[in-house]
């Protein structure tokens, strides 16, 4: 068994264990509300990112972090971006592993590697922006979609089919949608809170 197959099998086992453990844990009211609204928005306005977030996928993804059970909107936004960073780093490691074991298809994989180096940077900047300025977080996360598309176009152009990487791209798109929704809701909360403080001071 080559190392890329080993990585895929370990990833599949890990996701199975996570999904089984999450199945016994009811999502918090906030997570239920967020994931329901995301699914409704995606279905109503189309596949802006090329991905329609499903309720169950959204819930299971967020529940990978145990803090989700008691998180408020601010913490949940942070969790989402942190999970996105972890996913991007895992995708980068997968591509590096594939490059080490693949003779054909090196060019599209190298382009995908470059994309995921930048995707990781975008998500890390977005995480910093949660405390420094939410507008910059929006900008950084929005930039991720173009980078995913570059990777996918390179794979399609070269007729390269790698299921593990396709799944990683799907995962990345999902966290773009979740993170953007949470950051938007957090912005609205800050605006409302600011209005409340203004009224109180007046």
- Whether 202 shows a pLDDT value over 50: the answer reads no
pLDDT (tens digit per residue) in 25-34: 567 899 999 9
> Percent of the chain beyond pLDDT 70?
76
| CATH, residue 150 | 1.20.140.40
Taking every pair of Cα atoms in the chain, the longest distance, rounded to a whole number of angstroms, is 70
- Beta carbons of 168 and 25 less than 8 angstroms apart: no
Q: In angstroms, how far is the first alpha carbon of the chain from the final one?
A: 70
CA 88 – CA 86 distance, rounded (Å): 6
pLDDT (tens digit per residue) in 168-185: 999 999 999 999 999 998
Backbone angles phi, psi at 150, to 5 degrees: -60, -45
Structure token pair of residue 129:
């922006």
- CB-neighbour burial class of residue 89 (10 A; exposed 0-12, middle 13-18, buried 19+): middle
CA 34 – CA 14 distance, rounded (Å): 25
Q: What range defines the domain where residue 139 resides? A: 3-201
CA 9 – CA 15 distance, rounded (Å): 10
pLDDT (tens digit per residue) in 80-136: 999 999 999 999 999 999 998 866 678 899 999 999 999 999 999 999 988 876 788
CA distances (Å), 120 to each of 82, 85, 145, 183, in order? 10, 6, 12, 18
CA 171 – CA 62 distance, rounded (Å): 12
Q: What is the mean pLDDT of the chain?
A: 81
Q: What is the tally of structural domains in the chain?
A: 1
């Amino acid at each position: 068994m080559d190392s890329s197959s080993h990585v895929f099998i370990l990833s599949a086992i890990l996701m199975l264990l996570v999904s089984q453990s999450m199945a016994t844990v009811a999502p918090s009211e906030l997570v239920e509300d967020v994931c329901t609204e995301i699914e409704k928005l995606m279905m109503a306005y189309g596949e802006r990112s090329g991905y329609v977030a499903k309720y169950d996928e959204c819930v299971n993804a967020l529940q990978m972090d145990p803090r989700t059970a008691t998180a408020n909107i601010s913490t949940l936004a942070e969790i989402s971006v942190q999970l996105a960073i972890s996913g991007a780093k895992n995708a980068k490691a997968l591509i590096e592993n594939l490059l080490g074991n693949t003779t054909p298809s090196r060019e599209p994989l190298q382009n995908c590697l470059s994309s995921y180096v930048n995707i990781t940077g975008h998500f890390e900047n977005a995480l910093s922006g949660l405390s420094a300025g939410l507008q910059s977080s929006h900008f950084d996360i929005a930039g991720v979609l173009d980078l995913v598309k570059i990777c996918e176009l390179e794979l399609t152009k070269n007729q390269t089919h790698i299921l593990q990487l396709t799944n990683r791209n799907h995962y990345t798109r999902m966290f773009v949608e979740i993170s953007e929704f949470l950051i938007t809701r957090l912005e609205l909360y800050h605006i409302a809170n600011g209005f409340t403080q203004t009224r109180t001071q007046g």
